[in-house]
Amino acid sequence: MEKRQLGQSPIAIPPLVFGGNVFGWSADAATSFKLLDAVVDAGLTAIDTADMYSVWAPGHKGGESETIIGDWLASRGGRDRLVIMTKVGMDMPDGKGLSAAWIKTSVDRSLKRLRTDVIDLYQSHKDDETTPLEETLGAYADLIKAGKVRAIGASNYTAPRLREALAVAEAHGLPRYVSLQPHYNLVERPLFEDALEAVCLEAHLGVIPYWSLASGFLTGKYRSEADLGKSAARGQGVAKYLGGQGPKVLAALDAVAAETRSTPAQAALAWLMARPSITAPIASASRVEQIEDLVKACSLSLSQAQIAALDAASA
């Protein structure tokens, strides 16, 4: 499977990143092991997670996803062929934010859970305006120097704050973010396209959007209120797409899928992969049979007319 360079970094990743938010939540440990085996065997060797996955689930405290990945790595080996991405900054039971102290505490916890010596891409999960950018980037500099982190990325930043972080890095000789992880898909375009996309292109940042399938809506699984009960974990998150342009986007995906003998999910992911600013979308699965869509999307090439049709439906 082809590899794409992650911004201005030595890290190369496949055209799709597997999202580890499901591990220990909608996929138990045994299922998570099967999912990881399947995606890696298929060449999807980049895994994205976060320290706080899945703190939202009853009885969870965060770190569940990282722990499962670490247990799987200890069982299977092969760390050198994987790109492991995790994040820091969202609310955990005993802390949050991007202070130097919290970052240094959090990275050691993540490394221990992941059972690895180094995190390939360590990402600021969300901006922390209470901590000076110089302090945050200085902490990352120390982690890179110590060999605990290879590169750093940002997630959920506004365009002005992302520009500011890049300027601070340059002015003070600190590590710069090499990537952005934004919320972006066919039914959520403006947040990224209106301002962030230009910053990423100008600064040569890798872009690895999350919720690439809009919590499953773009698979075509949810087309009416009655469909929301198909997944307790996802149903609530897709209800907002049933109105507005949502049905129009699904109709366009259905048409492209019919023309390309693919599925709506494959077409939605292929649309993202075809966009010049995108390095690799993040997508996840909670059942092994769903992985086929992700793998096939990586080799699906859409025509300019098909891309235009999806652009028009989702504009």
Task: Cite the active site residues.
Answer: 53
CB 156 within 8 A of CB 127: yes
The number of beta carbons lying within 10 Å of the beta carbon of residue 142 is 15
Q: Report the C-alpha gap between 123 and 132 in whole angstroms.
A: 16
Element spanning 119, H or E: strand 119-124
DSSP state at residue 206: E
Q: What share of the chain is helix, strand, coil (3-state, %, to 5)?
A: 50, 15, 35
Q: End-to-end CA distance of the chain: give it in Å, rounded.
A: 31
CA-closest candidate to residue 209, choices 135, 279, 105: 279
DSSP state at residue 23: B
CB 155 within 8 A of CB 124: yes
Query: Residue 116 is encoded by which pair of tokens?
Result: 């690895």
